[in-house]
Amino acid sequence: MTAKALAIDGNSLLFRCYYATIKMLDYYHKNKLIPTNAIFLTISTIFKLLNNSYQYVFIAFDAHRKTFRNQILPNYKMNRSKTPEDLIIQLGWVKKIISAMGIYHEALDNYEADDLIGSFVKKMNDNNISVDIYSSDRDLLQLVTPLTNYYMFKVGLSKTTLYTNNNFSSLFHGLRPNQVVDFKAIVGDSSDNFNGVKGIGPKTAANLLQKYGSLSGIYQHINELSIKNQQLLSSDENKKSCQICYQIAQIKNNLFLSESIDKFLKKNINSDEFNKIIDYLKIPSLKKYT
C-alpha cells in the first residue's frame, strides 16, 4: 500500500480560521487575554486531518511578504492588506504548538508557502508517496498528479472541493494540471496583482489551451487565431506581461532535493510541551487531543 503524506498551507488555514472566528476578538480584548480564536480552530482542524493516518506531514508558511517574484514584478501582491496584529500574535503560537505535535513546518526567505509545498510534493511523489494538499490557493492546482490530490477550502473549513488527476478537467476549464501555469499567464490574477494578456478572458484562454496545448503552442500557431486574438497576443506589452506572469505563476519544486525524506515523518506528540502551551494560552479544550 502506498504511504500517505499531508501538506497544509499554514497561512491559508490560519487566515481562514482567524476570519471565521473574528467576532470572538472582542472577548479577548475586553479581558486582556492573548487572542486564541484562530489558534484553537487551526489546531483542531490539523488534528482532524491527522485522523487519516498520514506517515509524513508538512505545514508550510510564508516567510515575508517579498519574495523572488517581487524581483520579477515589483508590485506583486502589493495590493493585499496588512496582516492584522491579532493574527500575527497567534501565528507564532501556532508554530510552537505544531512543533510540540511532532509536525515539521518551515518558512523560507525569498519563497512562498506554495514553493515549499511544491517541493514537498515532488519529494514525496519521487518516493512513490501519495500526497493530500489542503489550502485555498488556486496556484496549487498545478501540483495535482496521479499521486497528489488537492482539497481546496471553499466554504469556511467545513466544505472542500477535491481535485484529482481524474476529475481535474471537469473542474478546471477542461484543462489539465500542467496547463494551469499557461492559463494564469494568459488571464492573469488580480489577487496577485498581475494582468496576463489584457483582453483575453478565461473562456478564450481555455479554448486556446485545449486546442494548442500550451502557451508556446498558441504562439507557434498564432496565425491560425482570430485577428483580434493575434493582435492581443502579439502586442509588446501583452507579450511581456504574459512572460512575466508565466514565471510568477510557476511553483518551485526543487527546494528539498537534498533533504532526507525522514525529515517529514510525523513524530509523536510531546504531551508535556503541548499541555504547557495550552495551559498558558488557556485553551483547555485542546487537551482532548493528547
The beta-strand segments (E) located in the chain are: 4-9, 56-61, 104-107, 130-135, 148-155, 159-163
Taking the model in full, what pTM does it have?
0.94
Q: Stretch 193-208: mean pLDDT, rounded?
A: 90
Q: Structural domain of residue 132, as residue ranges?
A: 4-171+260-289
Over residues 98-142, the pLDDT tens digits come to 999 999 999 999 999 999 999 999 999 999 999 999 999 999 999
| CA 191 vs CA 8, 18, 52, 157, 248: distances in Å | 21, 19, 32, 21, 13
Q: Mean pLDDT of all residues in the chain?
A: 93
Cell of 273: 510541551
> Does pLDDT of 188 surpass 90?
no
Whole-number pLDDT of residue 80: 72
For residues 212 and 195, membership in a common domain is answered with yes
pLDDT band at 194 (very low <50, low <70, confident <90, very high): confident
Residues 6+ apart with CB under 8 A from 206: 173, 174, 175, 183
Higher pLDDT, 94 or 236: 94
For residue 271, what pLDDT band results from cuts at 50, 70 and 90? very high
Same domain, 21 and 123: yes
Looking at per-residue pLDDT, the higher value among 75 and 277 belongs to 277
284 part of a folded domain: yes
Give the CATH number of the domain where residue 61 resides.
3.40.50.1010
Shared domain for 155 and 182, answered yes or no, is: no
CA-to-CA distance for 124 and 128, rounded, in angstroms?
A: 6
| Average pLDDT for 190-217 | 90
Same domain, 39 and 160: yes
Q: Mean of the pLDDT values across residues 156-181?
A: 94
Residue 214 lies in a domain: yes
Dump pLDDT digits (tens) for 51-106: 888 999 999 999 877 888 888 887 777 667 788 999 999 999 999 999 999 999 99
Kindly state whether residues 135 and 213 are assigned to the same domain.
Answer: no
More confident call, 267 vs 192:
267
The predicted pLDDT at position 52 comes to 82
Total domain count, the chain: 2
Residue 13 and residue 93 share a domain = yes
Residue 200 amino acid letter:
I
Q: Are residues 236 and 272 in the same domain?
A: no
Distances (CA, A) of 190 to 76, 143, 240: 10, 21, 17
pLDDT in tens, 19-62: 999 999 999 999 999 999 999 999 999 999 998 889 999 999 99
Q: Give the pLDDT confidence score for residue 1 in this predicted structure.
A: 59
Q: Does some domain include residue 255?
A: no
pLDDT higher than threshold 70 for residue 156: no
* Judgement on whether residues 66 and 120 belong to the same structural domain of the protein: yes
